[in-house]
Amino acid sequence: MLIVDSLTDHPSTLLDTINSPRDLRHLSLSQMSQLAQELRDTIINTVAQNGGHLAPSLGVVELSIALHYVFDTPRDRLVWDVGHQSYAHKLLTGRRDAFSTLRQYKGLSGFPKRGESPYDTVEAGHSSTSISYGLGMATAKCRQKDSAKVVTIIGDGSMTAGMAFEGLNHAGDLGKNLVVILNDNEMSISKNVGAFSSFLSRKMTGRTIRRLRDHIEDRLMALSSVGENILSVLRKSEESLKGFFTPGMLFEALKFKYVGPIPGHELEDLIATLENVRDHNHGPVLVHVITTKGKGYKPAEENPGDYHGVGPFDIATGIQKKNSSAPISYTKVFGQTISRLARKDKRVVGITAAMPAGTGLAPFAAEFPDRFFDVGIAEQHAVTFAAGLALEGLRPFFAVYSSFMQRSLDQLIHDVCLPNLPVTIALDRAGVVGADGPTHHGVFDLSFLRYVPNLTILAPKDENELQHMLAFCLEYEGPVVIRYPRGSGEGVPLEADFVKLPHGEAEMLREGADLLLLPVGNRVAAAVEAAQLLEAQGINAAVINPRFIKPLDGKLITELARETGKVITIEDNAIQGGFGSAVLELLQQNGLQVPVRMLGYTDAFVEHGSQAVLWKNAGIDSQGIVQAAVELAGR
């Protein structure tokens, strides 16, 4: 492996000659194998410095080369599902020199981005969208008499989502010339679950089935002409070995031509197969490719889940460079607290959508395996499944990232809140999340959740308050959402005993006569700091920790708003329809006409960058709050 100290000062490589896929198509097979190694070296070196999605991108290096070698990109469209496996694709499509800026503020996105390159066909950050995208594109090309191909690349983990099957079902019905590459590595972020995953298992589709097929062919050939005749019949039968011993039976039932399984790291096999598929013009084709997640970097191959998305790490050891003195994360506090609640109450169950580690539920799963449910990448099902559990007396806690919860709004409204069921949604990664960017920022949840009847919404000011809120959820007879941010808490001690939180009651943190600061969740600490800075400028700011975003503590907020005469709301969320809007509605309903300044994200998608930079840009860090307060106070 070529490991260099500086990504901008390295010896000349074959990769240096690849400025577009056109250059790739002049290479020999041996040169492409060399290129694959150089791509892996570059990806490993860059992710070691910047963090990123390492294992997914290492697993599709050969597949990326073969796709760009065979298909006439960008005229032929490549649609990457999720998009976190697109690093080799970026390196092959003219972004080599900028690759060192991957996931950095103002640098390359960690996902496909249409504004970044004509080779990026969609903005992909959530799973299971590629087939629907691709089918729409293929249908449009057919109507426009455009013979260009559309190829979607989807992982077996993403195939656990219902949307993928909706796309497959429609594609089979329309019969368009869509190519679906099923990248089968038995992993999504954590190890796949579910019946479909078992159906695709390489135990049946990898070496075992090939050996079985070869063994049957050898035995039949030994029967002279009789065996040859039988073998000829079997080879011609679409429902023979392929139908009984591979997942082809399922896909062919959906009217796809099934090809595979084929080894995903053998360039010669990949290229030959893709060339045949490229020339197929008789309806949709699915190519089943077997790959190894983390291929080429031993720590990632051995523990692909740990290296799905990583921070900076030491290449020699694979150990991530973490700040050992950082406070405990909100995610870890959630995991610890739900386990603590489960020890006391047998009704508590935990649910995740393919992310037991990322949501902090892995320890709960180990301790309470019969009370833990991983539903796969199926957030919609998870919410209604939780509703079913609650209907029979259990207390389900569904841990999910804010941006992924967007998929489950209808289920939350219709299946949980309408019947007023005691389901708790633990909304992790609320607010901006950093380098993953606009597809993963959780900046819309307050806006799309606030209007739902029967729903209580909370946001803790620190990690200690989070545990008390979770205890509140266990006792509350109705649906609750708790939103908390990515990353470390405020460094406050965790109290041994739970504190009872009265429903809808806010917390007065600081008295003040000149204006009222109303921060939400992780913005409370910044607001308290801002109030201290304002005091030095002669401005006496009151600070309330709302705790409850819905229902608001109308009595306390209106009293302080009336006394101070000026209000600033601060939220790690979109301004439109968010917490500030709720405060404006409250004041209007109470006949209060006071100046209100709302701080949050404007009507635009938030780019990728560190949380600190994005908070500063939005004016919701302590300095931004001070500036807004000074302007509002007219000083």
Q: What residue spans of 175-247 are helical by DSSP H?
A: 195-200, 202-205, 207-221, 224-236, 241-245
Return left, alpha or beta for 601; rule: phi > 0 is left, psi -120 to 50 is alpha, else beta: beta
Residue 407: active-site member: yes
Q: Are 409 and 438 in contact (CB under 8 A)?
A: no
Contacts of 163 (CB under 8 A, 6+ apart): 128, 129, 131, 132
Query: Strand locations in 230-301, DSSP E?
Result: 257-263, 285-290
Active-site residue (options: 95, 103, 141, 407): 407
Buried b (16+ CB within 10 A) or exposed e, 201-223: bbeebeeebeeebeebeeebeee
Residue 379: active-site member: yes
Tokens of 517: 């600061």
Cα–Cα distance list, 518 to 209, 550, 579, 590, 627 (Å): 63, 14, 9, 17, 15
Q: Are 579 and 569 in contact (CB under 8 A)?
A: yes
Tokens of 111: 């996902």
Active-site residue (options: 96, 176, 293, 566): 293
Q: Are 170 and 135 in contact (CB under 8 A)?
A: yes
Chain position carrying tokens 């260099």:
4
Cα 431 versus chain centre, distance: 14
Interatomic CA distance for residues 557 and 577, integer angstroms: 18
Active-site residue (options: 123, 252, 379, 463): 379
Q: Are strands 372-374 and 348-352 parallel, antiparallel or unpaired?
A: parallel
> Nearest CA to 474 among 340, 619, 606?
340
Residue 293: active-site member: yes
φ, ψ at 374 (rounded to 5°) = -105, 115
User: Which residues are the active-site residues?
Assistant: 293, 379, 407
